[in-house]
Amino acid sequence: MNAYRTLRPAAFALGCTVVLAGCAGPGPRPDSELLSAASAIEQAEASQARQYEPVLLNQAQNKIADARELLDREEHDRARRLLHQAEVDAQLAGARSETAKARQAVDEINRNIESLRTQMNEAAQ
């Protein structure tokens, strides 16, 4: 019984450690996440996000930079989250750029059609 009593604080500490490990353990280095995020940035840039979505693209790049600093301090899990976010931020920047370009294409062809109609109306008179 006495043995159990002395063991009690140790057991409490053990429980704490188990939970702490689950909550903020170092985990493996997120190297593949780093690659994915960088490649998402490249794809966004290929979609001209630098021109159409510069703020969101910068946000994604800042997250990658922050993640690199966390990796230097071996805070792998926090770095991993930032890299996941950077990846989807960059993907969204690229997707919005593509939408913007498609919208421009719609406007352009509608202008073309309008000027064709005008030309035809003038020619018919």
Residue ranges binding other proteins (CB under 8 A): 1, 4-5, 7-8, 11-16, 18-20, 23, 81, 84-85, 88-89, 91-92, 95-96, 98-99, 102-103, 105-106, 109-110, 112-113, 116-117, 119-120, 123-124
Nearer to other proteins, 12 or 46 (CB): 12
- CA angle 96-81-67, nearest 5°? 90
Q: What gap in Å lies between CA 107 and CA 98, rounded to an integer? A: 14
Nearer to other proteins, 51 or 119 (CB): 119
Return the structure tokens found at 12. 């409490």
DSSP 39-69: HHHHHHHHTTHHHH-HHHHHHHHHHHHHHHH
Nearer to other proteins, 73 or 125 (CB): 125
Determine the residue type at 9. P
Return the structure tokens found at 63. 């997250």
Min dist. Cβ of residue 74 to other proteins (A): 19
Min dist. Cβ of residue 123 to other proteins (A): 6
Helix (H) or strand (E) holding 122: helix 76-124
Min dist. Cβ of residue 21 to other proteins (A): 11
Min dist. Cβ of residue 112 to other proteins (A): 6
Nearer to other proteins, 69 or 107 (CB): 107
SS3 9: helix
